[in-house]
Amino acid sequence: MAAITRWVRFEHQGQAAFGTLDGTTVAAHEGDMFGTARPTGQTLALSGLKLLAPVRPGKVLALWNNYMALASKLGLADPAEPLYFMKAPSSLLGPGDAIVAPKGKGKIVFEGELAVVIGRRAKAVSEADALEHVFGYTCCNDVTAAEVLNRDASFAQWVRAKSYDTFCPLGPCIATGLDPATLSVKTWLDGQLRQDYPLADIRFSVPRLVSLISHDMTLEPGDLILCGTSVGVGSLKPGQAVEVEIEGIGKLTNRFETAD
């Protein structure tokens, strides 16, 4: 495995900034995280910073039926191509912030996932070249209003059910130098392990996803591909804490609340 660099976005003195995380300190950078990032020479204590979602994407694409264990459990047919939907970028949420359920939307579900962060423009790229367009990886919780999804029998409301404000927790960092095929996703609910699945069980690998999707639409730096989830998803109750953990990236923690 290559050396891992962990990029974070944070708020410092009322301003959003970015840098690299090394243990308990952050080396501040300037410029563009995906191209011309330069260290400023300033080192900040992590304890004094508020971490933000590590990227502000133009597009958030998310996979359905992309892990074979879950497909087997649900009796789903093997898809011939990636099945994906979009989440609104406005659903993004930072580490430590609260997932807030809108009123009257019924059961809210957590889904721990690996998120791929695009770092270089990708248009109709080959699978062999796809990883050259990937900047790194982060943790995501693809929160879903499950009862909204199929509430109208004539139209599956994927985007709406997945895009309420706060429904895309992301972080705590973007890790570069990882091989996700060697890792697992773990999701904890109030300290109890609810998901623990290997990323090697993925149906469409990261290079294949990037390649195939880039033939559908151009991927820009900062865009996200959420790779889908596997067995163990469940519903959230007010006051519960949900944590998504991937080795090398860290643990994304958010508490669930209901709107007043």
Paired residues of 197 in beta bridges: 185
- In terms of DSSP bridges, do strands 168-176 and 144-145 run parallel, antiparallel, or are they unpaired? unpaired
Task: Look up the pTM and report it.
Answer: 0.96
As a whole number, mean pLDDT of residues 38-63 equals 97
CA angle 114, 116, 121 (to 5 degrees): 170
**What is the domain partition of the chain in residue ranges?**
1-52, 53-258
Confidence of residue 108 (pLDDT cuts 50, 70, 90): very high
Residue 1 pLDDT > 70, yes or no? no
The Cα 243–Cα 145 span in angstroms is 18
Give the right CATH number for 1-52 from 2.30.30.370, 3.40.190.10, 2.40.40.20, 3.40.50.10140. Answer: 2.30.30.370
First to last CA, the chain: 47
As a whole number, mean pLDDT of residues 212-225 equals 98
Is 160 strand, coil or helix?
helix
- Other CB atoms within a 10 A radius of the CB of residue 151 amount to 15
State the pLDDT at residue 102. 87
Number of helices (H) and strands (E), helices first, in the chain?
4, 20
pLDDT tens digits for range 10-26: 999 999 999 999 999 99
The Cα 172–Cα 121 span in angstroms is 24
CATH topology of domain 53-258: Fumarylacetoacetate hydrolase; domain 2 (3.90.850)
**Cα–Cα distances in angstroms (integers) from residue 107 to residues 44, 145, 148, 234, in the given order:** 40, 6, 9, 9
Mean pLDDT in the chain?
A: 96
Burial of 238 (0-12, 13-18, 19+ CB in 10 A): exposed
pLDDT tens digits for range 53-76: 999 999 999 999 999 999 999 999
Residue 195 pLDDT > 90, yes or no? yes
